[in-house]
């Protein structure tokens, strides 16, 4: 089968199309003919050597989410058969014509969705649900600040928060604010022109928001804490702007009853990942049916052999929503 490989860590041009062996199916696996695969920032980290080794995860091939057709089932698989259209999160191996997926990480593709849009759902919406609903405990009537709101997880989080009935504050570049509003943000903030903490203080009469979903990290930490209401939850999903040490007065956490929560899907135990997918599926999957309230946001598509260009698109930070790889003739 064809797949994207790389022989050394580095820039996007290390990615090459090559012939490799098909993955071996295990008892809990579905073997899927991949039609589309999502590109994620974790793939960039993988390519650059941020995980320390090329085979971090379940495969030497990168890629975390797929949409395609089941062509073989393992002996322990339940609920799926050959010919089913599925989407889901894999532990690696998505940048290929064939991929294996634990059946508990797979979901049926709603009938109204094509493979490209299906591939734009699993990683980002499962992550967004986990951060917002399970960890952040967002409820109708709450308010939430979502950073990087035009990105994959950010755009999913905006939609889920709006569908929950929360008031959504969102940060993005000026050119992306209109799209963020279309997705459900009531207050879209140009982070380059305005201090988001000051905007929230003004718009909430100094109360703050109940939940902050942050992908940036250290540069935003102090203002994120300042933007929280009493009893608020800061859920740290990424550190795009840098990690390292941050400081906060313990009195702030103690007397304002704040919670600071970190979450990363890739490094979780497999049973925890199963639970994350199940929670999302039970709560939201039917909302992607025709005419329903949620939409996978697709920025652009690239052929598998052009994976390097897809990575460059993500590195440019110009995308709104997901970047998708497609296999030849399959959409």
CATH at 134: 3.40.50.720
- Same domain? For 114 and 132 the reply is no
pLDDT for 119: 98
What is the arithmetic mean of pLDDT over 281-304? 90
Q: Are 35 and 48 in contact (CB under 8 A)?
A: no
d(CA 271, CA 252): 34
Q: What is the mean pLDDT of residues 263-284?
A: 92
Question: How many domains does the structure of the chain reveal?
Answer: 2
Q: Which of 165, 173, 163, 78 is nearest to 125 (CA)?
A: 163
What phi, psi does 234 have (nearest 5°)? -100, 115
Domain boundary among 262, 284, 308: 262
pLDDT band at 292 (very low <50, low <70, confident <90, very high): low
Domain of 37, CATH number, reads: 3.90.180.10
pLDDT category of residue 117 using cuts at 50, 70 and 90: very high
pLDDT at residue 56 tops 70: no
Phi, psi of 211, deg, nearest 5: -140, 140
Does the pLDDT at position 220 exceed 90?
yes
High-pLDDT (> 90) share of the chain, %: 86
Average pLDDT for 85-112: 96
Position 174 in a domain:
yes
Is residue 64 in some structural domain?
A: yes
Given a cut of 70, is residue 247 above it in pLDDT?
A: yes
Under 8 Å CB-to-CB from 280, ≥6 apart: which residues?
A: 125, 126, 129, 130
Quote the pTM value. Answer: 0.93
Structure tokens given for 240: 């795009």
Domain termination residue (choose one: 262, 283, 304): 262
Same domain membership, residue 83 and residue 57:
yes
State which residues form the domain around 312.
Answer: 2-121+267-326
Chain-centroid distance, C-alpha 269: 18
Number of CB atoms found within 10 A of residue 82's CB: 11
Residue whose tokens read 């598509």 = 301
pLDDT digit string, tens, across residues 8-49: 999 999 999 999 999 999 999 999 999 999 999 989 989 998
Same domain, 157 and 106: no
- Mean pLDDT for the stretch of residues 94-105: 98
What average pLDDT does the structure give for the chain? 94
Give the residue-averaged pLDDT of 321-326.
96
pLDDT of residue 177: 97
**Which residue matches tokens 């209401």?**
229
Alpha carbon distances (Å) from 286 to 138, 187, 196, 282, 292: 20, 27, 34, 8, 8
240 has a pLDDT exceeding 90: no
């Amino acid at each position: 089968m064809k797949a994207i490989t790389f022989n050394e860590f580095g820039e996007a041009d290390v990615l090459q199309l090559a012939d490799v062996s098909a993955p071996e199916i295990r008892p809990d696996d579905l073997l899927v003919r991949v039609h589309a695969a999502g590109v994620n920032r974790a793939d960039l980290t993988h390519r650059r050597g941020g995980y320390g080794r090329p085979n971090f995860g379940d495969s030497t091939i990168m890629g975390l989410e797929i949409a395609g057709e089941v062509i073989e089932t393992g002996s322990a698989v339940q609920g799926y058969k050959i010919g089913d259209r599925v989407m889901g999160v894999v532990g690696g191996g998505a940048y290929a014509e064939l991929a294996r997926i634990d059946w508990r990480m797979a979901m049926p593709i709603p009938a109204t969705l094509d493979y490209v849009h299906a591939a734009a759902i699993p990683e980002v919406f499962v992550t967004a649900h986990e951060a917002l609903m399970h960890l952040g405990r967002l409820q109708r009537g709450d308010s939430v600040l979502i950073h990087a709101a035009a990105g994959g997880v950010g755009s999913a989080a905006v939609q889920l928060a709006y569908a929950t009935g929360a008031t959504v504050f969102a940060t993005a570049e000026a050119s992306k604010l209109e799209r963020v509003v279309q997705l459900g943000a009531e207050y879209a903030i140009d982070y380059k022109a305005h201090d988001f903490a000051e905007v929230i203080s003004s718009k909430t009469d100094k109360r703050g928001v109940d939940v902050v979903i942050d992908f940036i990290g250290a540069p935003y930490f102090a203002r994120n804490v300042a933007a929280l209401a009493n009893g608020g939850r800061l859920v740290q999903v990424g550190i795009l702007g840098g990690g390292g040490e941050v400081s906060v007065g313990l009195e702030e956490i103690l007397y304002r009853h704040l919670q600071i929560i970190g979450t990363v899907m890739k490094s979780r135990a497999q049973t925890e990942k199963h639970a994350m997918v199940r929670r999302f599926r039970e709560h939201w999957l039917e909302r992607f049916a025709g005419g329903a309230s949620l939409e996978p946001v697709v920025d652009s598509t690239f052929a598998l052999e052009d994976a390097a260009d897809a990575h460059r698109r993500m590195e440019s930070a110009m995308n709104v929503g997901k970047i998708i790889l497609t296999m030849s003739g399959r959409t």
